[in-house]
Structure 1
C-alpha cells in the first residue's frame, strides 16, 4: 500500500507543473520582476515639479507608473505580462493609449517598442519607444521617444532616484 502511494507522489513531483515551478523565470517574467522592484516614489533629476510613483496592483500582476505633479496626476503607464513579453500601455494626457511590447533583454536594459495605439487623433504624437536602464548608483535612466506625422522625435531621458 505504501509503494503505490510513493509512486503517485513521485509522478506528481515530476509533473510538468512541478518542474515549471522550479524552472528559471522567462525573460519577460524577469523584466516584470525588475519593474516590480521599482515600487515606490522616485524623484526626477532637474525638477521639483514631477515625481514618478510605481505601485503594484491586481495581486502583484500589474505595475502602475504614475507621473504626479503639484496639479495632480499627469499620466500613467500600466505594465503587465502577456506571454513572453511585458506590455506597457501609456495613458497619455493627449488622450491616446499607445501599447508597447518589451524586447528581449539586453544587459539589464528593459526596452519597449511600439505595438499599436488607440484613441489617436489626427496630428497627435504618441509614445513609440521606452527604455529603462538601471544605473550602478541605484538610480534609473528612463528614455522615451514620441512619434508624430513627421516620424520619431528626439528621445527624452529622465534620471530617477528613489525619494527619501
Structure 2
C-alpha cells in the first residue's frame, strides 16, 4: 500500500513537472518583440478620425520624453477625453489607460504579429480598481496600414466582459 501511495505521488509530481515545462515552452514561442511592436506604434503619430460603437470621436497620437512614450489623446463628443500611454519597460511593451471610469488599468503586450499588424494587450494590474470594479481589461489593435487601423477594448466588471468598444481609425493628417 505504501508503494502505491509513493507511486501515485511520484506520478502526480512528474505530470505537474511535464505540464509546467510544456507551458513554459509555449510562452517562449509567443514572446513579443517589444521594440518592433513599439516602432510600429510610433508610426501612428498624428491626428485620426475614429468611428466607434459609441459614435464618432477624434484621436491624436504624439511622442514625448525623447520618443520613449507614445501618448494617445482620445476625445469623445462632448469634450470627454481619455489618455493612453504606451512605452517600453525593459523587454516588455506596456500601456497605461487613463479612463473615464476614474481608474488606470495597465496592460502588457502578449502577442504581436508583424505580418498582420495584430497587437494584443492583456490586463496586468492598475490603480484605483477595486475588486470586481469595472475597468478596461484588454485591447487588440489591428495595425493594417499607416493610414488605417482598428481597435477593440474590452471592459470587464465582476470578472465578465460587460462591453467591447470596437473602433476604426482613419488618419486625417
TM-score bracket, shorter-length normalisation: 0.7 to 0.9
Residue 40 in structure 1 maps to residue 46 in structure 2: yes
1:144 to 138, 145, 153: 153
Greater relative CO (CA pairs within 8 A, separation 6+) = 2
Q: SS at 1:59's partner residue?
A: helix
Q: Is the Cα–Cα contact under 8 Å of residues 44 and 50 in structure 1 kept in the other structure?
A: yes
Q: Which of the numbers 60, 63, 78 marks the counterpart of 1:56? A: 63
Q: What is the aligned-residue RMSD (CA, Å)?
A: 2.2
Counterpart check, 1:68 vs 2:75 = yes
Change in CA separation of 1:154 and 1:73 when aligned onto 2, cut-off 3 Å = closer
The TM-score normalised by the length of structure 2 is 0.72
Deviates more, 1:93-102 or 1:128-137: 128-137
Measure the CA separation in 2 of the matches of 1:56 and 1:142.
Answer: 20
Deviation at 1:95, TM superposition (A): 1.1
Instruction: Report the equivalent of 1:9.
Output: none
Structure 2: runs of 5 or more not aligned = 1-31
The structure with the greater share of residues assigned to helix is 2
- Shift in CA distance, 68/147, structure 1 to aligned 2, threshold 3 Å: same
CA distance in 2, matches of 1:150, 1:80: 27
CA distance in 2, matches of 1:77, 1:159: 17
| CA displacement at 1:94 relative to structure 2 | 1.4
Change (3 A) 1:151 1:57: same
CA drift of 1:135 comes to 2.4
Deviating runs (4+, > 6 A) in structure 1?
A: none
Aligned residue among 116, 131, 140 for 2:125: 116
Q: How far off its partner does 1:85 sit? A: 1.5
Instruction: Write out per-residue CA displacement over residues 88-121 of structure 1, whole angstroms, 9 at most, x where no aligned residue.
Output: 1000111111000001312321110000021124
Tell me, in whole angstroms, the C-alpha distance in 2 between the residues paired with 1:120 and 1:110: 24
Count residues in correspondence: 139
